[in-house]
Amino acid sequence: MAAKESETKSRKLILDATAFYAGVPYTSLECYLTTAEVLKEVTHSSKYIAIIDTLLDSKRLVVEKPPSEAYQRVKAAAMETRDISTLSEADISILALALHYSEKGDAVIVTDDYAVQNVAQILNIRFAPAMSRGIRRMVRWVHYCPACSQVFGGNMRYCPICGTALKRRVGRSREVRY
């Protein structure tokens, strides 16, 4: 029993906005972590403000700022998977916080965002979906021009050949192990 309690206490549950929408922190007495950027996304709706204030006052929710080196590693991984253009600042912050804690022990991001899960997978950060099934394959995206069919790396938005807006598709993928 004591081993189970210490295992739960050492595990850091890090919440993305979807975890708040799914009601995750409201149904348990666990302590959760998040970032100020995530709280900005959630508190746009007044129905969450009072609940979040209560969680903060009771110390069941702690807001932390991840170290800058964790941000840089997350951005590099997101560039590698080509998810960088779809990640918000809140997504990057939550990944950075999870990366920081995963290096110190056990961290789990609670999120339904597939891009966050994709980048978490490449960084070896555990994640748990709140309402969805979660990703089944980790993907690396490629950008292509639907007009002239050229494939491009990087984060270009428009084809340098014909000027058409680029789209993305799966370049490579592999199974996710939970």
Q: How do strand 137-144 and strand 151-152 relate by DSSP bridges? A: antiparallel
Asked if 132 and 138 touch (Cβ cutoff 8 Å), the reply is: no
Helices (H), ranges, 60-105: 68-81, 89-102
- Each domain of the chain, given as residue ranges in start order, spans 7-128, 137-175
Per-residue pLDDT of 17-75, as tens digits, reads 988 888 887 777 789 999 999 999 998 877 788 889 989 999 999 999 999 999 999 99
Q: Name the nearest CA neighbour of 67 among 35, 43, 115.
A: 35
Residue scoring higher pLDDT (141 or 107): 107
The overall pTM is greater than 0.95 = no
At residue 135, the pLDDT reads 47
The CATH number of domain 7-128, selected from 1.10.510.10, 3.40.50.1010, 3.90.1150.10, 3.40.190.10: 3.40.50.1010
Model confidence at 8, in pLDDT bands (50, 70, 90)?
Answer: very low
At residue 119, the pLDDT reads 93
Say how far apart CA 70 and CA 75 lie, in whole Å.
Answer: 9
